[in-house]
Structures are given as C-alpha cells and as structure tokens.
Structure 1
Amino acid sequence: MNPNKSSVVASSLVISAFLMLAYFYMGVETVEDDMINDQKTGGIRDIAEQSVNGAEMETLARFAVEEHNKKENSSLKFSRLLNAREQVVAGKMYHLTLEATDGDGKIKVYETKVWVQTWNNMKQMKEFKVSNDPNLRKQNKSHLNPNTPRQLETMNPNKSPFVSSSLIITAFLLFATFDFGVCRVEKGMIRSQKLGGVRDITEQGLNGIEIETLARFAVEEHNKKENSLLKFSRLIKAKEQVVAGKMYYLTLEATDAAGKIKAYETKVWVKPWINFKQMQEFKQVSNDLFV
C-alpha cells in the first residue's frame, strides 16, 4: 500500500475514534443536564412510556387502589395504568391515572397521588378521585421511538473517502466488540439458570417491587376466580424456576373479609418477552410455618 495513503488511513482512524468518543461524551453530558433540569423541586414531568409500563409504577397504582378500598370500604379492582407523572418534593409525588373495576363490574378512570420517600420506606396515598377528563382513557404514546439512536453527522464522503471508510471500519469494530460482549453475558446467564432448577430469591430481590407486584397480581387473580375479597398484606418468601419463561413460587400473607390474616402459597408464570403472566395456583397454608 502507498505509505502516504497508509498514514492518511491511520490518521483518519484515530480522528474518527476521537470524534466518536467526543459525541459519546457530549451525549452523556446532555442526558445528565436533562435529568437535572427535569428534577427541579416542584416541577411535574411526564414519566416515559417504558417506565409507565414497568413494575414500579404498576405497584404504586395497585397500592393506591388498595388504600382507597381500605379508607372507603370499597372493592375496586385495579385494571391498568394509563398515565403517570412525577414531582420532586420531599421525596417524590406520583400523579397516576388508572382504570379500575367497581363492585358493579363497571370500568372507570381514576386519578390518584402517591407520595414516596424511598430512604425511609414510606409511601402514602394522598388523593384518589374519579377522573372527569374523557381524554385520559386513551393512554399517551410517545411519538419518538426510543430504540432509534440519534444519527451522527458525518463528513462528505466525496471530500474525504479515506476518512469515510475508516469511520465505517471503526463503527464495525465497535459493534463487533459490543455484540461479542452481549453474547458472553447471555451465555453466562443461560449457564447460571439451567432449565428446571428452582432457586431461592435473595432478600434484596424479595423486598423489590417486581416480586411484590407478582404477589399482588396473584391475590387479585384469586379474587376474580373465587369472587373473594382478600387484601395483600406482605410477601414472606419467594423462589423462581426457569421454564419457558419463569415460574415464581411465592408465599404471602393476605387479610380475608373477616379481617383475619392468613398465609397462602401461589405460583405465577411469567414470559416477559410477550408481556404474559398467569396465576397457576393459589392455596392456603398454615400460618404456624412462618411465625
């Protein structure tokens, strides 16, 4: 190869790598600035659709319905979360819009506020009311595709063919490195989660929102099938098994219509890639085993 051309290619590779790092650094700074601006005390901001559909927001919405039922002696059943906004106060105030089914089987839209202080494990339902806004029945959808990356500005290939080619080579090498790393992680996960093995969920996972959401879901599904009025109290222990998805074995406490706290075991089957979850079993067990 012509040594002059080789030096140009080598130089362009270095320059392209530097430019990509600069773009990345600028993007990180922009994200951090946006986060700081969005979380000014008192400012209310929309929560992204991905987070609205996540376990944390659903748990807060279910919690609000349960608190309303306790205060008003009603029997609303959570249906789905429509919209969510958050406000930074002494902690965070979540403004949630949800659908719930009343005692007559009618689905209505409600607005609620839930105050959360994560550092002292406090959450409190501050307001719960029927919504008068018909537009809130339609769940907000983002017009932006979060999976579509920003396009980087590139130099005119006609002006600098060597730089253009080196950019493509650099991008390919970076992608190959990333893809190789992802494959290694996926293989490691498969090895650590052999099909059929049942394992205990750690205490940290047990106290997390995801597992609590599954326990609350199981109670609600049982109530629908048996026409009962159990109210979730707490999660005692949890195990998981890798099947076609995951099977969760949960032990929980719930309060019956007579106000008595009893222990129950349930199985919940989850396939997250198709947004599927199903309560497979729900039965009462002796409280003495978990005292």
Structure 2
Amino acid sequence: MLKKLPQVRGRYTENAPLARLTTIKVGGPADVMFEPVDLADLQVFLKGLPEDIPYIVIGEGSNLMLRDGGIRGVVIRMDKALNDVQVNGLEITAGAGATGGKVARAAREHSLKGAEFLCGIPGSVGGALKMNAGAYGHETVDILKEVQIVTQKGELQTLSPKALNFAYRHSELPKGALFVGATFKLEQGDKEEIRNRMREINKNRATSQPLNMPSSGSWFKNVMLEDGTKKHAWQVVSEAGCRGMRVGDAQVSVKHCNFFVNLGEATAKDMQTLTEHVEAQVLERLGVQLEREVRFVGED
C-alpha cells in the first residue's frame, strides 16, 4: 500500500499496532498509520490519496473500540502535529490533536470560565467535536464559536456550529472531511473558582469512575424513556442486573456500570459479546433499547 500513498514529510508506519493507542488497550493493527508534521502535510496527504484507500482519525483513543482484525487503509494521528492551544482575549483556538484537558488548563490560566467540564473528558478536541462530548451538564457545542475542517480534497474550511448539526453525542461532517481545529468562546471568570471547579470534577471522576483500569469512557448514551423522562445509562444497566457482568477479561465495571473495563487480556470480540449481552438483557428486562456511545471500528 505504501507505494500508492502520496509523498509527505510526515511518517508512515506499516502494520502499526493500535491497541496501545486506545484507552481500553484492545484492537488489531492498522495497515498504515500516518503522522503528519503539520496541517499542510495533512492537506497534501488528502489531496494525493487514491479514492479507493479508506482513512480514519484516531485521537486519544477514548470512546473507541478497535476490532481484533484491525483497520484496513490508513489511520491518521494528529496528536503531535495539531496540538497547539492559543488564547486571544475571551477565545481559545485549539488544534484537533490537543486534549480537552489542555484547553481547560489554558482557560484556567487566563481566568476564562466555561471550559472546566473538558478536564473531565478524556480525549482530543477532534474527538470532542466529532461526538459533541459532554459532561457535568455541558456539551462541546455550548462553548463552540467555529470549527476548522479539511475536506476530502485537502481544502481548509471554517464552519459555524450550525453547519454541523450538533446534537446529543453527534455532529455531521461532510463526507471524508476531518476536524483540524476549533475556536471556543468563553467568559471572564475568577481563576480560583475555576481551579476549584476543575478539582471538584477530577475528584468526582476519581470517586465514581474506574480510572485505574483500561476503559473507553461511557459505553452507552443516556436514555430517553417512553414517558419522556431521561435516565443515565448506568442506571438502566444496573437495574437490568448487568453490573459486574463479564465475558473473558471484558467486564461491566462494578464501580460505574456504564464503563466496560479490560481486566488484562480482553479482546475486541469479548467486548463485542459483552455489549450484545448487556443490550439484550436491558431490552428483555426493562424494554429499553440502548444506543452505543463508544464507536466500534475495524475488521472482525
């Protein structure tokens, strides 16, 4: 495949291991991994890539379940090239490869409030945009001014949030386009209050989530019941009796049952089977159809 790929300044790696790049430490290799050196390098890659070669982006590897057969085509990693965070007045511009935590810390240092919730979301800015990540009553779109994307043809565009149809854990990119950056609009605040809020969020995560074990973050989306009431996914999973359910080394966390954890040697097949068992039991016992928040990608 390398012979068919465009000449770039960045690095290509064949048969690249991916499990170590995910937070759950599961999954097969990529045919090729591409790490661009900058935005221009990524644009050259997309412009020159043959149409029959598929590609996806992997950021920090959270909310992602790579299947055991790995990824056909090219996996793009932006964490080294597109990770700058710049503050200008009440606005913060961040590359898609920067982490949400990095954005939150930059906001704190400049006494800007509104981005505190990002410190509690493991993942990249690109991932947060892709799924409109949220926590503690806030979503990414709430503080979003505009996004920068690169199209399938390598063209750089700036779009408003409205153009991407953001919804709960959802956004709509043009086919083949990639997020490369975002500008967030924040408010002036008190640095100590912001610091305390971030500490509170991190303390809550440590208390309620299995942070000491490999996981992908929230596994299922929260549920809207027929009577119009909302329920946290963990409540539904727990009420159906799935807390602690296990397949191989894949387990529904006892600490927080909307987290699936890798006890050591779990495979993607284990995770897939466990997911299906939980979905079936919740449907049978509660009549609720769960919707996955974690993305399953790759070949079986």
TM-score normalized with structure 2 length: 0.26
Q: Which has the higher contact order (CA 8 A, sep 6+)?
A: 2
* Greater share of strand: 1
* Greater share of helix: 1
TM-score normalized with structure 1 length: 0.26
